[in-house]
Copies of this chain bind each other. A is one copy, B any other.
């Protein structure tokens, strides 16, 4: 399941993707437009900025705008930024690999292979969902 943070991030990106080119959206505008607690959204937008998905303009008349092309921002990207690994266990993850604490022998683990198969299929599906594809729907 997605955390609220990830869901809010996606909703915020969808909001930004629906604005006119060159439009800058204030946090409060996004918060009200997408039903997201404003203070929480501030954090999320900063994270999205650090991830180079959005850009910002500071000071009066400042705000946020989409930095990356909406065709290139995928569900997988946002999931990884906020919720981390796509794989079902860290030992089956590409970007967040970690050995299981209870693992005796990774090479002999019966679970791992199956979970890597799932990871590949889920990842492919999640990379197929972009902000643009969601807006078009």
Contacts and interface: CB of A to CB of B under 8 A. Distances in A.
State the oligomeric state as a number of copies.
Answer: 2
B122 A137 contact: no
A16 interface: no
Given A7-B111, A85-B1, A104 B35 contact: yes
A63 interface: no
Contact of A89 (B2, B35, B137): B2
Nearest to A103: B35
Grouping DSSP codes into helix (H, G, I), strand (E, B) and loop, the A interface class, with mixed when no group exceeds half, is: helix
A12 to B, nearest CB: 11
Interface stretch (A19-27, A50-58, A127-135): A127-135
A30 interface: no
